[in-house]
Amino acid sequence: MSKIMHVEDNAAIRESVKLVLEKEGHEVVSYETAAAAIAALAEVKPDLAILDIMMESMDSGLEVNEKIQKLQPGLPCIFLTSLGEEVQQIFAGRLQTGQILQKPVKPETLLPLVKKMLH
């Protein structure tokens, strides 16, 4: 199946997303920090990225996506946020390759979007 890079600072969310995706047959490479994900980008070469928008800073997930897009232009990305709809207005210009999901994300919301973005 597909290789998915997941970057999330909340351990419970990171583990639950990983379990849901692995149950569907995906290989999931998880990182706690934006810095760790960026350092691993060249080796990982994911098919999809799932990024928490706010980690070490207000827009860490967006920074990771910008680095990803330099190495793998057009790589699809799902952004997870607890900020709600206001994040779309704040970061609209920086989300060209992604979709935003509200945390906590439910499997019945995440899995169809993952499938859509991988095909």
Query: What digits encode the pLDDT tens for the residues 10-43?
Result: 999 999 999 999 999 999 999 998 889 989 988 9
Q: What is the pLDDT of residue 91?
A: 61
Among 115, 117, 109, smallest CA distance to 74 is for: 117
Which burial class, exposed, middle or buried, applies to 94 when counting CB atoms under 10 A from its CB (0-12, 13-18, 19+)? middle
Rounded Cα distance, 70 and 85, in Å: 27
Number of domains in the chain: 1
Q: What is the pLDDT of residues 53-112, one digit of tens each?
A: 877 666 677 788 888 889 889 899 998 888 766 666 666 665 666 788 888 899 999 999
pLDDT at residue number 92: 60
Residue range of the domain that includes 11:
3-118
Q: What is the pLDDT of residue 56?
A: 64
**Which of the two residues, 83 and 47, has the higher pLDDT score?**
47
- Helical ranges in the chain per DSSP H: 11-23, 34-44, 60-71, 86-91, 107-118
- CATH number for the domain spanning 101: value is 3.40.50.2300
Identity of the residue numbered 34: A
What's the pLDDT at 68? Answer: 86
Q: What does the pLDDT read at residue 5?
A: 96
Q: What is the spatial order of strands in the sheet that 98-102 belongs to?
A: 27-31, 3-7, 48-52, 77-81, 98-102
Phi and psi torsions of 69, nearest 5°: -65, -25
**pLDDT at residue 65, as a whole number:** 85
Contact 76, 98 (CB under 8 A): yes
- What average pLDDT does the segment 6-11 reach? 94
Token digits of residue 83: 């900020």
